[in-house]
Amino acid sequence: MPEQLTHYGSKISVFAQRTAIALREVNAEYTDCDVDFDNKPDWFFRASPVTTLVPVIAYGGPVAPPEQPSAESAKISESAVILEFIAELFPSAAGLLPKDPVKRAAARLFVKLLDTKLVPPQFAWMQDGAPPDEIFEVLQTLQTLLPEDGQGKYAVGDEFTIADAALAPMWARIRLIVGKGIGAKEWGREEHIAAASRALESPELARFVAYADRLLERPSVKATWYEDLNVVYWSKKAAAHAHE
């Protein structure tokens, strides 16, 4: 049975939601510690000696309060690394890493493309009001990696994997910002929101949108998605940018 596990995350973090989804998928017993995203407490840096970012997993060592992390526990950071760690820690609990080596490689490639190709333009769009064009170009590329219609519900087949856990939080925020029109007035980007809305409804992306929307219905995704908090957070980001 796995040792004690503490998850340091944030309800507004894309990357912490990824790992929270994975923990839900494997029914892990863990301590969840919500870290103030913009004002991290001093003790967090003892839990995360390598990075200032969430998520971080503290694994092993004696049971300790999250605010007093044990020096004996392993501190693991970077959401892509943590996703694989969780999958390997609970190999019989969920199919987060497929047994088939081809599908396993496909899931890893999907995560890699998300982090290298989609994260930069999506965060430029969410944080700075950049045009969304590049986002939807990347989504078209990702769509080519999906199973053909009828050959699988998720990124690499019928099993929910690390690929789906990695995408779901990003997609939730795309849907949120477009659906609520967040930043449209503050950044004067009504055209950007309209362009994103058209892309989401376009036949060229229909297969990807159907897949990604399916992720939002997954119980683990619903349980880790705090829409009201994210509306407040991203609206504040837009308002702050407008006054710069």
Give pLDDT, residue 244: 53
Give pLDDT, residue 107: 97
> Is the per-residue pLDDT at 243 higher than 70?
no
| Band of residue 242 on the pLDDT scale cut at 50, 70, 90 | low
Return the closest-CA partner of residue 111 out of 154, 153, 148.
Answer: 154
Give pLDDT, residue 13: 96
* Range with top average pLDDT, 64-68, 116-120, 185-189: 116-120
Give pLDDT, residue 89: 94
Q: Is the dihedral of CA 12, 15, 19, 25 positive or negative?
A: positive
Contact present, 233 and 172 (Cβ < 8 Å): no
| Band of residue 95 on the pLDDT scale cut at 50, 70, 90 | confident
| Band of residue 185 on the pLDDT scale cut at 50, 70, 90 | confident
Domains in the chain and their CATH numbers?
A: 4-89 (3.40.30.10), 101-242 (1.20.1050.10)
Return the higher-pLDDT residue of 108 and 183: 108
Structure tokens given for 170: 């990003």
> Is the per-residue pLDDT at 1 higher than 80?
no
What is the residue-averaged pLDDT of the chain? 92
